[in-house]
Amino acid sequence: MTVAQNNWLDLELSLDSGIYNKHHVVMVRGEGAHVWDENGREYIDCVGGYGVANVGHGNADVVKAVQDQAAKLMIMPQTLPNDKRAEFLKELTDVLPSELSRVFLCNSGTEAMEAAKKFAITATGGRTRFVSMKRGFSGRTLGALALTWEPKYREPFGSAVDDAHVTFVTYGNVEELRAALTDDVAAVILEPVQGEGGVRPGDAAFIQAARELTREKGALLILDEIQTGFCRTGHFFAMEHFGVVPDGVTLAKAMAGGVPIGAFVMTTEVADRMPKGGHGTTFGGNPLAMAAGVAAIRFMRRERLWEQAAAKGDYFMEKLRAIKSSKIREVRGLGLMIGVELKEKSGPYITALEHDEAVLTLQATPLVVRFLPPLTISYEDIDKVVAAFERVLERVNPREVSAEQVKEEKQTE
């Protein structure tokens, strides 16, 4: 080891698996919608932990709950009931439609998708085909990866990805969906707003048709609300925009205010058909995550965070739409899940926002700049982000970007 022990950047770059396109900064602290790097530079954070930090970084309620629970009890397997787990299950099911009343707890979004597949198979008496959406994203473990559309995520792993059991249909195309719904389909899985696929809000008629068609065919409708849940889109859950109650919903990201967590929440009919011992996890439902989840959900309810997301999202998108730039093709989104599609690669603009303006944003497909700020972000910060974006759009000429920017752009794609 030749790297100095306190050179955190070099240490991380040299010891990490190498799968991530890491930016050349070291982040050390966060508060609300702001984060700081090791040199004390302050950023406005519109990455928001990829949509985890809905209640803001360093949320006092979540911090207190984690501190108290860490001192009390951190781990207790699910065969041994726990007070915090029971309390969390009640909080969670209280904010969901009453039909969604049975919860499988895990630790991440991809795990929630794996559970959803297994529960769908047993609930339909052994059907194994799935219908997923073009441009959809469901996670990176092999089972969830099979539902993820982007071929470059699947292809390196060949036939180990069981995508032969998956039919991909165009998001929004009812006729394709109808044709794909053969008698061996266990479930149709879709995001109410596609996130990774470029921030594309779903079409109400399509999602309602998916509800009707799955019911007719004896298949489940599973909504992936891993990114859209917990107030992000202006309702507690995005399904409320469409008036649709699915047979199951996958949840993760913002559910515990930043502590790893995941869940598949389903109807009693679905839950009751999984045999005892048919699925399980060691860390799922651990008291630490449960305490954080109780605090995060209570904070969302008390602050009516969905209303904040709706109002701030409308304000943010209105200001983005007012930018006069020939580089913008479309501003779209729902609540504070916002994407700006450019007519050129978004990478240099994302890099310039970070380097020159101290604004963190993320990419969704090569052309889209995505904004997923904490829902507690101030209007003043939204103004600053829009002003910074406007300057960057005006200033950055993609043909004149620095060598470093070109390198980072390649990486972010």
Ligand X SMILES: *Cc1c(COP(=O)(O)O)cnc(C)c1O
Binding stretches for ligand X (CB under 6 A): 108-110, 137-139, 191, 195, 224, 226-227, 252
Residues contacting residue 98 through CB under 8 Å, at least 6 positions apart:
none
Beta bridge partners of 410: none
- What does the alpha-carbon distance between residue 272 and residue 179 come to, in Å, rounded to a whole number? 29
Q: Is 268 annotated as a binding residue?
A: no
Residues contacting residue 202 through CB under 8 Å, at least 6 positions apart:
171, 172, 190, 191, 192, 193, 194, 238, 242
Helix, strand, coil content of the chain in percent (nearest 5): 45, 20, 40
Q: Is 99 annotated as a binding residue?
A: no
Q: Are strands 337-342 and 328-334 parallel, antiparallel or unpaired?
A: antiparallel
Q: How far is the CB of 338 from ligand X (least distance, A)?
A: 15
Q: How far is the CB of 412 from ligand X (least distance, A)?
A: 17
Q: How far is the CB of 191 from ligand X (least distance, A)?
A: 5
293 by DSSP, 3-state: which? helix
**Which residue minimizes CB distance to ligand X?**
109
Instruction: Identify which of residues 19 and 403 has a Cβ nearer to ligand X in the complex.
Output: 19
Q: What's phi and psi for 359, nearest 5 deg?
A: -120, 125
Q: How far is the CB of 372 from ligand X (least distance, A)?
A: 10
Question: DSSP string of 108-162?
Answer: SHHHHHHHHHHHHHHHTTS--EEEEETT----SSHHHHTT---HHHHGGGGGGS-
Q: Which amino acid is at 93?
A: T
Q: How far is the CB of 222 from ligand X (least distance, A)?
A: 11
Q: Is 110 annotated as a binding residue?
A: yes
> What is the Cβ-side half-sphere exposure of residue 13, based on CA atoms within 13 angstroms?
14
Instruction: Identify which of residues 191 and 409 has a Cβ nearer to ligand X in the complex.
Output: 191
Q: How far is the CB of 29 from ligand X (least distance, A)?
A: 23
Q: Is 281 annotated as a binding residue?
A: yes
Q: Is 140 annotated as a binding residue?
A: yes
Specify the DSSP class assigned to residue 202.
Answer: P
Specify the DSSP class assigned to residue 192.
Answer: S
The closest alpha carbon to 135, from 149, 151, 146, belongs to: 149
> What is the Cβ-side half-sphere exposure of residue 322, based on CA atoms within 13 angstroms?
9
Contact between 138 and 112 (Cβ < 8 Å): no
Instruction: Identify which of residues 20 and 379 has a Cβ nearer to ligand X in the complex.
Output: 20
- What does the alpha-carbon distance between residue 383 and residue 370 come to, in Å, rounded to a whole number? 16
Cβ atoms within 10 Å of 162's Cβ, excluding its own = 15
Instruction: Identify which of residues 139 and 333 has a Cβ nearer to ligand X in the complex.
Output: 139
Q: How far is the CB of 196 from ligand X (least distance, A)?
A: 6
Instruction: Identify which of residues 137 and 306 has a Cβ nearer to ligand X in the complex.
Output: 137
Instruction: Identify which of residues 138 and 308 has a Cβ nearer to ligand X in the complex.
Output: 138
Instruction: Identify which of residues 191 and 408 has a Cβ nearer to ligand X in the complex.
Output: 191
Q: How far is the CB of 108 from ligand X (least distance, A)?
A: 4
Q: Is 225 annotated as a binding residue?
A: yes
Instruction: Identify which of residues 120 and 401 has a Cβ nearer to ligand X in the complex.
Output: 120
- What does the alpha-carbon distance between residue 131 and residue 134 come to, in Å, rounded to a whole number? 10
Q: Is 137 annotated as a binding residue?
A: yes
Q: Is 282 annotated as a binding residue?
A: yes
Q: Is 31 annotated as a binding residue?
A: no
Q: Is 109 annotated as a binding residue?
A: yes
Specify the DSSP class assigned to residue 275.
Answer: P
What are the binding residues for pyridoxal 5'-phosphate? 109-110, 137, 224-227, 282
What are the binding residues? 109-110, 137, 140, 224-227, 281-282
What are the binding residues for substrate? 140, 281
